Amino acid sequence: MNQLLKVSTLAPAKVNWTLEVLGRRSDGYHEVRTVLQTVGLCDRITVSTAQELELVVRGPTGGPAAALAGFPPSDNLAYRAAALLRQRARGGLAGARIELEKVIPVGAGLGGGSSDAAAALRALDRLWALHLPANELARLGAHLGTDVPFFLFGGTALGLGRGDEVTPLPDVPPQRLLLAVPRRPVAGKTAAMYASLRDEHFGSGEASERLAAAIREGDIPGDGDVCNAFEAVVSEALPEAAAAAEQCRALGLRPHLAGSGPAHFVLLQAGTESAPLLEALSAAGLDAFEVMTMAASAATAIVEEP
């Protein structure tokens, strides 16, 4: 068998059908219940053989890649994932050139950095012929971020604990979504959102468990199933996100906060013309995308080059 010289894989964004916060844990994190979904707005990770670990980030001029310019590779989750995986292999490995084509907006609540980390783990496991089980890669990924384990499975999944205890669910039937993202990243927004939660915002996790059960029975998530604990505090903690939601409502849309924001997603009904909505949101100062929900097989597919 020829040695692999290059491996590439997509790093899709995600939305949360549900995101319930149950309370603070003894380790300082929060206990959550969440149903997550990969969607077809994707970065791409390509890894190839090299003597040392290298990272190259590229993307459209003025796009998300520009937000990462000037930061050292050690600040990038894809690079850190590579370093962690090489350490796990305990020597004997060469390096790798990691090429990141950045499309997902940075710091938007869409999980782009975590997805990049998962994609790097997945691609390098193949390039370096480690053949680690998905659960082992997920355990490594959890050291990098609570969303990383989910992206190693992709598709639709239930997240428990800090969100890093992942149970895959059946793929939901394809659905059209519209993403609306403020153009200015907000530093420290996740910590601010959690800090704003009070006891009355904590839930039981029942909505997530109920939706997971319905998905197992073949039901399709709808607007009435979507919930996010952070929407109760978004106006005070993240005004940029609240403004984006108002711009969506002004167009007759029903926006839902994506993760900890500031991005929102909208379920598009059959027959809805998206082009005028995308144009109006762009004119209002938002980056807007139409995407489809993404099945697990597509979200984790790998392309090899000998």
Just list the catalytic residues: 14, 147
Length of the chain: 306
Q: Count Cα atoms within 13 angstroms, Cβ side, for 121.
A: 34
Element (H, E) at 1: none
**54: number of Cβ within 10 Å:** 16
d(CA 249, CA 242): 11
Q: Count Cα atoms within 13 angstroms, Cβ side, for 78.
A: 32
DSSP type of residue 269: P
d(CA 197, CA 233): 7
